[in-house]
Structure 1
Amino acid sequence: MSRRLIRTPRRGLAIATVAVSSIVLAGCASGGAEGEASPDHDLTIGVVTEPEKTLDGIVDGSLAGYNIYYNLFDQLTTLDADGNIMPSIATEWSANDDFTEWTFTLRDDIEFHDGTPLTSEDVAFTYTEVLATPDSDNLGYMGMLESVSAPDATTVVFELNSSFSPWPSITTAQSIVPAELYMELGSEEFAEAPVGSGAFTFVSRSRGVDYVLERNDDYWGDVTEVDTVTFQTVADEEARLNGVISGSLDVALISPNQVSSLEGSGADSVSRASNGATFLGINSTSGPLADEKIRLAVWHAINRDELVSAVLDGRAVPNDQIVAPNVTGYVDGSEGPAYDPAAAEALLAEAGYDGTAIALEYATDGRIPMSSEVAQAIGGYLEAVGITVELVGMDQASLSNRIYGTVDMDGIFLNTWAPSTMDGDMPITNMFAGGQNDYAQSPTTATLVEEQRMVDGADRIAVFDELASTNYAAAYLIPLYTPDADYAVTAGIDWTPRVDGEFMLADVTFSD
């Protein structure tokens, strides 16, 4: 069988250059005076939300959960701070010619926190258990996985039911559990005190409050300088900002309009381009938006450059594509319909638009910083060309339940997608191949999603280019921008934010 060896693959796209300076955090939350580093190396991180289901990484695949799993467990491969796929448990991997079989070679010196060795049997069990768990979030990106085998202690073979060239990106997200312990305890009991092989071990959790981990001194990799890390749930963005300024938090994600508030506070800010795309989802099956001309009018009506500069204070980049510039699948130089209010008005006239109100649903808090301001600005752009807009704000949980539930959205909705795998397959599958954001159900886009899985490199990017062009012509979804991720921090340690927005803390170093 012909194989291509891939030792430390990197995406074939240039990573967006972002000046990310080394920043300093303090362990103030563990007893230091305001603005001073504590003598210990404890960190308290203010996170927006907590894992949605459980601390079992086989069941839960929430972005909040990954903050825990990436520190508590190891994965076959990992992402560096810039989103490049790197070895972890696996040292190398290869695929057959049609990308339907992948073989991974593992390290032989890794132990779980309970002292048992990690072998290929644990890896095979983990992935097989995902397939056997109907309510696993991870099934959503493992639909192509047919079976997993462990021919020897350091080899794992994945058999796929269809070609899937980005399979290594999937392995960055799945944490490996100890098979015997998991089978002995079951999912529910295992989640009460999860055991991994990562740089930190589990200490405690208090639902709705915090999750505490401590350093694993026997870690197979570089042992971190962090003593303990506490992920504290702080949903309110003002509370996160004030927490860092006051010293009750050491680091927290903040909104673009909060960055200037840190001036003179004694705390610092650090920013980098995120891996997300903020976009307008569209129910294109009913009402005025069933008309392609009206959808294109919406696209032409929005001034992305002004939206970024005036509303987001320049802390984003306009983006016509559904993947961010630093995610595999982004096409350099590809641009959609330009801002052109006159063209929007002409399209509305051609379509015979009668002023019927179009709902614009958005969250007033949560995943999209300044979402209310963004929605109001978009509403203003649409009203300016003659589109009647009904702004409908709600909390993030309610909006997510509507988008990903069983009801149809009323018109337009503000949404975002940031693939934890740093690969465009996940968002385009959801948006153009039958997912919850895919109202159009276009056979053309579904075919293109399938085609990009059968090729790699430049050939794969060419398919993404065709998919983007198809969306430009039909406006099934309307991308808006890729935001920066902004953090408030205090002094005391050196830390580099990751492009995927997750907190991996093994490489934190302190300046004391």
Structure 2
Amino acid sequence: MNIRKGKGVRRPVATLAALGLAFAGLAACGSDSSTSSSSSDTVRVVLAAEPTTLDPIAGARSGQVVWDTVIEPLVPTDLELEPTKDGLVTDWERTDDTTWTFTLREGVTFSNGEPADAEAAVFALTKVRDEPTSILKSFWTNAESFTAPDATTLVIKTKAPQYDLVNNLGTIYMIPPKYYAEKGPEGFSTAPVGTGPYLFDGQRAGRDMTVVRNPDYWGDAAKTEKIVFSWSSEASQRLALLRSGSADIAYDLPPAQQKEAKEADLNVITTESALKIVGFLQTDKAPFDDADVAKAAALAVDRDQIVEGIFQGAAAADGGLLNVKPGEQPDEVVSQDVAQAKSLMAGRSEKVTITYPAGQYVNIEEVAQAVGGQLEAVGFKVKYNAIDYGSLVTQVAGGELDGLYIFAAVPNVAVPSFFVNGFVRSASITKNCGSPELDAMADEAVTAADAEAAEEVYDEINRIAVVERNCYIPLYRQVYAIATAKNVSGLVYNPIHASDFTGVTVG
């Protein structure tokens, strides 16, 4: 999802170049120069991981920081995570309980010349709802039909009332129908085309990706001509590249590197993210198909200790699942109780595998080890399974995992139904907690008149799924940290992991 401010204030694009071993060696020598050697027309951004795909239909949002510069959502959000009318959709009306009518911006075209009209919106929506490889298909099961009465009018009919439909359009990225159909997901990912402020300019496999300013963008032009994105899984190397002048912006810095960046007089941007790290229990498989064992695991974990010990407070402990916006707290949480956990284990020594995406999130290895140590303290025998993020997503969606896996709950839109559809329903991505009872409650919540009316139902869903059944062990919200060179300004980052690079300048 992205921060979109439409005509007059556009959103961001980032760049970074993983500049190879020569630069890594230079950084290792300890140069403290914070003056970028790049042209003022180029921004070099270094990310923590290479995007697995630039196809917004099939791709996890880890690639959004790159594709979001080229491809735009139908409905952007502001910094308070509310939908706005200054993007590709300029107005909407709820015609009746199950019908919504949207007005699209007139005259917008994709960079390849195809019209970015209502028919294109229907194409994108249909792909997201119906494609087997769609990462968000479970979020659109309530959509009955998408039609385009004319070029600027989109009508969505739902099977049942849905008060938060507008929010969900933030997950729909506009793609050119003919080009996407011709190239397919893999071909599109190699050379994405959109309506955004930047054009995709190519990639060097395993090294970097480049976007350049779109001269025909419908909104205000981006200030920077080019953004080069590269990546390094080592936070120390990302910071070293920035300190040596080989990069302008470094993403995803742990507390130690944040402190070092401040001491080097670099700019450090910190934002409490809506992204939260959660332990998912596969409650349909041993050992967590035993309710007492699942409860014992939940009671074993001390999230406050993890936040203080690993992040020195640079994360926010959070025991809920459906409290989506930063600062929101659930009514009930599970707190550590070692004595009760041991009692539930009753002397058993259950084997459990902890699977986690190596290098994907700040200090994730340490988090996995900390959770494992706490489980071992109450009687579990723990084995660790570190895999790459793409493999984890595939195995989660395929139901291939057992035990506990650590995964980020990333709300592309700031409404509880996003996590309910993604994780709680029987047809969800994770499929680790679904039941007819929770499905019925989810239906009740989303058909409420508004968010306030739905809140009580969502609170009860959270209580059942997290506190009673222990399908999830919520851990913490990530406090996201980005460092920039002193001569870089204008980067905007919001809690839904969206970056706006359009105002970035290198002075």
**TM-score between both structures, scaled by the size of structure 2:** 0.84
For the residue of structure 1 that corresponds to 2:45, the secondary structure is strand
Contact 2:213 2:224 in 1 (8 A): yes
| Corresponding residue of 1:383 | 376
| Corresponding residue of 1:265 | 264
- Are 1:504 and 2:500 an aligned pair? yes
Sort the Cα spacing of 1:41 and 1:84 in 2 relative to 1 into closer, same or farther, 3 A: farther
For the residue of structure 2 that corresponds to 1:172, the secondary structure is helix
Q: How does 1:218-229 map to 2 (within 5 A)?
A: 218-229=216-227
Contact 1:199 1:215 in 2 (8 A): yes
Between the aligned partners of 1:129 and 1:407, the Cα distance in structure 2 is 25
For the residue of structure 1 that corresponds to 2:246, the secondary structure is coil
CA shift digits 1:446-475 (9 cap, x unpaired):
222222211222111111101112131221
Could you tell me how far 1:92 is from its partner in structure 2?
1.3
Sort the Cα spacing of 1:430 and 1:29 in 2 relative to 1 into closer, same or farther, 3 A: closer
| Corresponding residue of 1:124 | 122
Q: How does 1:270-349 map to 2 (within 5 A)?
A: 270-323=269-322, 325-326=324-325, 332=329, 334-348=331-345
Sort the Cα spacing of 1:112 and 1:489 in 2 relative to 1 into closer, same or farther, 3 A: same
| Corresponding residue of 2:396 | 403
One-letter amino acid of the structure 2 residue matched with residue 338 of structure 1: S
Contact 2:224 2:505 in 1 (8 A): yes
Q: How does 1:56-455 map to 2 (within 5 A)?
A: 56-57=55-56, 59-87=57-85, 88-98=87-97, 100-115=98-113, 117-131=115-129, 133-182=131-180, 190-251=188-249, 252-323=251-322, 325-326=324-325, 332=329, 334-348=331-345, 353-363=346-356, 365-384=358-377, 386-397=378-389, 398-409=391-402, 411-434=403-426, 435-455=428-448
Between the aligned partners of 1:69 and 1:102, the Cα distance in structure 2 is 28
Q: Percent identity?
A: 24
Could you tell me how far 1:196 is from its partner in structure 2?
1.8
Contact 1:199 1:219 in 2 (8 A): yes
Could you tell me how far 1:508 is from its partner in structure 2?
2.6
Between the aligned partners of 2:129 and 2:299, the Cα distance in structure 1 is 43
Could you tell me how far 1:141 is from its partner in structure 2?
2.7
Between the aligned partners of 1:287 and 1:184, the Cα distance in structure 2 is 45
Question: In the comparison of the two structures, how many residue pairs are matched?
Answer: 475
Could you tell me how far 1:157 is from its partner in structure 2?
0.4
| Runs of 5+ unmatched residues, structure 1 | 1-24
Between the aligned partners of 1:361 and 1:27, the Cα distance in structure 2 is 32
Sort the Cα spacing of 1:41 and 1:424 in 2 relative to 1 into closer, same or farther, 3 A: farther
Between the aligned partners of 1:134 and 1:116, the Cα distance in structure 2 is 25
One-letter amino acid of the structure 1 residue matched with residue 473 of structure 2: I
Could you tell me how far 1:188 is from its partner in structure 2?
5.6
Between the aligned partners of 1:191 and 1:115, the Cα distance in structure 2 is 18
In terms of mean alpha carbon deviation, does 150-159 or 388-397 score higher? 388-397
CA shift digits 1:389-415 (9 cap, x unpaired):
313131234544443334241x22222
Between the aligned partners of 2:200 and 2:269, the Cα distance in structure 1 is 28
Between the aligned partners of 1:259 and 1:324, the Cα distance in structure 2 is 27
Task: Tell me how large the CA RMSD over aligned residues is.
Answer: 2.9
| Corresponding residue of 2:48 | 48
In terms of mean alpha carbon deviation, does 461-470 or 187-196 score higher? 187-196
Between the aligned partners of 2:322 and 2:217, the Cα distance in structure 1 is 35
One-letter amino acid of the structure 1 residue matched with residue 437 of structure 2: T
Between the aligned partners of 1:265 and 1:400, the Cα distance in structure 2 is 37
One-letter amino acid of the structure 2 residue matched with residue 66 of structure 1: Q
Between the aligned partners of 1:432 and 1:487, the Cα distance in structure 2 is 32
| Runs of 5+ unmatched residues, structure 2 | 1-13, 24-31
| Corresponding residue of 1:35 | 34
Sort the Cα spacing of 1:240 and 1:281 in 2 relative to 1 into closer, same or farther, 3 A: same
In terms of mean alpha carbon deviation, does 183-192 or 286-295 score higher? 183-192
CA shift digits 1:463-491 (9 cap, x unpaired):
11011121312212111111211122212
Contact 1:372 1:393 in 2 (8 A): no
Between the aligned partners of 2:201 and 2:138, the Cα distance in structure 1 is 30
Could you tell me how far 1:237 is from its partner in structure 2?
2.9
**TM-score between both structures, scaled by the size of structure 1:** 0.84
